[in-house]
């Protein structure tokens, strides 16, 4: 528990690369702490980075909702052409006796990105507006654990698999959803590149 740490142990940090234990020092704005043994970057002082990340995440949430609310594939069945959303495509894969592909596509293109996006936005918004609650560090650890399943590459691969598997009866619809997905991939990557996890942990554990 952070509250039981004594001041002398509270500011120790282990190098993520070589495990060298060292004392944390305050950095000037824009500065970075470098491990003296392996020269890995331990942490950076990036003023306002959590606000920037939150702004980009809020934009990503809007794009994610648009991308899922509007049709992205056109499906032909019995001579009719119907436009459907990504979730509709998942249901079609399921109906086409591809339950494993349907499950994987749902998990990698809808569930995992939605969880990461909404959980991270909620954590940053809670910190931004001073609402601290005990489950926040636990939720953030869950986000980190889900991270390998919601990365942009996995996300794009999921969409690609859905389209290829449905190619005999579906085609991509260039519309609001497709453009939103394109923008989402870029904005979400920008959000993650400005994200300073070290600063988030600091705010989560020492600001109480």
Residues that bind Zn ion (CB under 5 A): 15, 17-18, 20, 35, 37-38, 40
Question: Could you give the CA distance from residue 102 to residue 83 in angstroms, rounded to a whole number?
Answer: 18
Return the number of the residue (20 or 122) whose C-beta is nearest Zn ion: 20
Give the chain's length.
208
In the complex, least distance from residue 42 CB atom to Zn ion, rounded to whole angstroms: 8
In the complex, least distance from residue 135 CB atom to Zn ion, rounded to whole angstroms: 32
In the complex, least distance from residue 19 CB atom to Zn ion, rounded to whole angstroms: 7
User: How far apart, in Å, are the Cα atoms of 121 and each of 15, 53, 127, 165?
Assistant: 27, 9, 10, 33
In the complex, least distance from residue 121 CB atom to Zn ion, rounded to whole angstroms: 32
Return the number of the residue (42 or 63) whose C-beta is nearest Zn ion: 42
Return the number of the residue (18 or 164) whose C-beta is nearest Zn ion: 18
The residues with which 172 forms a beta bridge, in sequence order, are 73
Residue 48 region by backbone torsions, left for phi larger than 0, else alpha for psi between -120 and 50, else beta: left
The label of the residue with tokens 């969880």 reads 115
Return the number of the residue (23 or 78) whose C-beta is nearest Zn ion: 23
């Amino acid at each position: 528990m952070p509250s039981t740490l004594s001041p002398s142990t509270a500011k120790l940090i282990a190098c993520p690369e070589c495990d060298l234990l060292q004392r944390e020092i305050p950095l000037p704005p824009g500065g970075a702490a470098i491990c003296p043994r392996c020269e890995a970057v331990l942490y950076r002082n990036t003023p306002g980075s959590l606000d920037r990340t939150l702004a980009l995440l809020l934009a990503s949430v809007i794009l994610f909702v648009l991308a899922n609310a509007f049709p992205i594939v056109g499906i032909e069945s019995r001579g009719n052409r119907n436009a459907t959303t990504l979730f509709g495509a998942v249901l079609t894969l399921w109906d086409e006796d591809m339950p494993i592909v349907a499950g994987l596509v749902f998990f990698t293109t809808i569930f995992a990105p939605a969880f990461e996006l909404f959980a991270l936005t909620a954590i940053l918004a809670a910190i931004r507006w001073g609402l601290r609650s005990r489950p926040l560090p636990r939720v953030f650890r869950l986000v980190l654990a889900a991270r390998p399943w919601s990365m942009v590459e996995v996300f794009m691969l999921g969409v690609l698999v859905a389209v290829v598997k449905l190619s005999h009866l579906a085609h991509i619809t260039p519309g609001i959803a497709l453009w939103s997905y394109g923008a989402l991939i870029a904005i979400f990557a920008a959000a993650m590149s400005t994200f300073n996890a070290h600063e988030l942990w600091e705010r989560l554990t020492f600001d109480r």
